[in-house]
Amino acid sequence: MGKEIINIGLLGCGNVGSGVVNILSNNGAEIEGKIKTSLKIKKVLVRSLDKERPAGLEGVQLVTDAQEIITDPDIQIVVEVIGGVDRAKEFIKGALKNGKYVVTANKDLLAQHGRELFQLAQENGVSIFYEASVGGGIPIIRPLKHCLAANKILKIMGIINGTTNYILTQMTTLEMSYADALKEAQEKGFAEQDPSSDVLGKDAAYKLAILASLAFNASIEMDSIYTEGIDKVTLRDIRYAEELGYKLKLLAIGDREEEGIVLRVHPTLIPQNHPLAAVNYEFNAIFFEGDAVGEIMLYGRGAGQMPTGSAVVADIIEVARLINHQVDSDIMEVEFAPKPIKPLSSYKSKFYLRLKAIDQPGVFANLSSIFGEEKVSLDMIIQKRKVEDTAEIVLVTHHIVEENFFKAIEKIEALPAIKEISQIIRVENKE
């Protein structure tokens, strides 16, 4: 027989915290039926005691000192949903040292300090669960750890930032500029007032670090992930991409190559018939390729109060089962060791390039000869428009070594007839 009641200490009652309160309050009886234990929020940490709080917190003690939760002997599970790195880390360490299981949605913290925290959890005979940290409500951590465990994962490729996907979808469908789409996303609450972590690709890079560590059994340093955001994407490129049969998405990609893992987050052109091309607005999707299972895609809401709350509560239920069955959780994350990282410069990519040149004879010949010197082969080259004496040229390469491509770009930039290199975007397309 398990415990009749398991007490939870909730650190934070904002967006996600309120979702957790809501789900436990609405579905508590259903959950109790499944695990034969009542999950009870005993205390909630907030900054302000005066703010209005969600229904379902009647009789629950609100506190402003985390120690009241971390050191409470009746609390078995501490749920961290305050966000940020330093305070959250301090609170989680305190909880683990006091023998509490921890559930968190905090990707920034896990991507940067996960190793230390998993180690501490193991030393204290408890564990950390983090299903909500990547893909919000989409089950992804547990499928990777358990359901796909038989596979050697060869590739991960995902749309794992809802804010940028929303902005790119609005640009594509409504012909909005990047600035207007960002402004609209902020007004609708899909983007924060300081959107830099999302639009510069950092949020997706944190999530990729978490996914790649599980997929490739590796400890991942953030500086091994090439990161480029969507802030330089223009409507013109989205239109040209469409003409060429592509859609533009911010993708997080991890590839297992013989020489090492390649990790990158960048705007990417994908064929319009790729399943990820149909993932629009704030939705997320993660595509895996396993050597046994083949290709798999998980799709759903990557953020939001209730979807994220759903993943957090699922973790709480898993912990409750562990506690009830007195099973030690196996912390595979402490075994992750550094793996060779293959630099992007030696990886073979396909590129879209847009440039402006003076419209005069010989420009194409000059471009071709530079590409030839640097072993860059072209898939297509088109002259798009001519305004006065300037022509816009768009070209797509075959898969070529990145270093060679950028050497060619340096030489092209130095040609007197070239006015500007306007855009470079990687293309993900098997040839």
Ligand X SMILES: NC(=O)c1ccc[n+]([C@@H]2O[C@H](COP(=O)([O-])OP(=O)(O)OC[C@H]3O[C@@H](n4cnc5c(N)ncnc54)[C@H](OP(=O)(O)O)[C@@H]3O)[C@@H](O)[C@H]2O)c1
- Give the catalytic positions in this structure: 207
Query: Closest CB to ligand X among 47 and 348?
Result: 47
Beta carbon of residue 62, minimum distance to ligand X (angstroms, whole number): 9
- Per the CB < 8 A criterion, the answer to whether 242 and 126 are in contact is no
Question: Position 152: which residue type?
Answer: K
- Per the CB < 8 A criterion, the answer to whether 277 and 287 are in contact is no
With DSSP H G I counted as helix, E B as strand and the rest as coil, what are the percentages for the chain, rounded to 5? 40, 30, 30
Identify the residue among 22, 106, 161, 219 touching ligand X (CB under 6 A): 106
Q: Which of residues 204-263 bind ligand X (CB under 6 A)?
A: none
Query: Closest CB to ligand X among 82 and 215?
Result: 82
Return the SS3 of 322. Answer: helix
What are the structure tokens assigned to 41, written together? Answer: 């929020």
What are the structure tokens assigned to 402, written together? Answer: 């990145």
Beta carbon of residue 376, minimum distance to ligand X (angstroms, whole number): 40
Identify the residue among 10, 21, 41, 45 touching ligand X (CB under 6 A): 45
Identify the residue among 75, 105, 215, 427 touching ligand X (CB under 6 A): 105
- Which of 16, 221, 7 is CA-nearest to residue 95? 7
d(CA 357, CA 234): 19
Q: Which of residues 76-95 bind ligand X (CB under 6 A)?
A: 81-83, 87
Instruction: Check binding of 181 to ligand X (CB under 6 A).
Output: no
As a whole number of Å, the CA-based R_g of the chain is: 24
Which region among 9-17, 23-31, 169-177, 393-401 touches ligand X (by CB under 6 A)? Answer: 9-17
Residue facing ligand X at closest CB distance? 14
Query: Closest CB to ligand X among 47 and 188?
Result: 47
Which region among 13-21, 285-293, 364-372, 388-396 touches ligand X (by CB under 6 A)? Answer: 13-21
Beta carbon of residue 71, minimum distance to ligand X (angstroms, whole number): 16
Identify the residue among 2, 26, 34, 51 touching ligand X (CB under 6 A): 51
Question: Position 343: which residue type?
Answer: P
Sort 331 into a burial class: Cβ within 10 Å, 0-12 / 13-18 / 19+.
middle
Return the SS3 of 271. Answer: strand
Counting every residue written for the chain, the total comes to 431
Query: Closest CB to ligand X among 159 and 395?
Result: 159
- Per the CB < 8 A criterion, the answer to whether 266 and 250 are in contact is yes
Please give the span between the terminal C-alpha atoms of the chain, in angstroms, as a whole number: 57
Q: Which of residues 359-388 bind ligand X (CB under 6 A)?
A: none
Q: Which of residues 304-363 bind ligand X (CB under 6 A)?
A: 304, 308
Beta carbon of residue 342, minimum distance to ligand X (angstroms, whole number): 29
Tally: H helices and E strands in the chain = 13, 19
Identify the residue among 16, 24, 78, 182 touching ligand X (CB under 6 A): 16
Question: Position 66: which residue type?
Answer: A
Query: Closest CB to ligand X among 9 and 260?
Result: 9
Total of residues contacting ligand X (CB under 6 A): 22
Backbone angles phi, psi at 211, to 5 degrees: -65, -45
Which region among 39-47, 224-232, 254-262, 350-358 touches ligand X (by CB under 6 A)? Answer: 39-47
d(CA 240, CA 252): 22
Beta carbon of residue 15, minimum distance to ligand X (angstroms, whole number): 3
Identify the residue among 29, 33, 48, 362 touching ligand X (CB under 6 A): 48
d(CA 180, CA 261): 37
Dihedral sign, Cα of residue 127, residue 39, residue 14, residue 23: positive
Query: Closest CB to ligand X among 17 and 300?
Result: 17
Which region among 232-240, 279-287, 303-311, 321-329 touches ligand X (by CB under 6 A)? Answer: 303-311
Identify the residue among 132, 144, 181, 285 touching ligand X (CB under 6 A): 132
Query: Closest CB to ligand X among 82 and 276?
Result: 82
d(CA 51, CA 91): 22
The contact set with ligand X (CB under 6 A) reads 12-17, 45-48, 51, 81-83, 87, 105-106, 132, 136, 303-304, 308
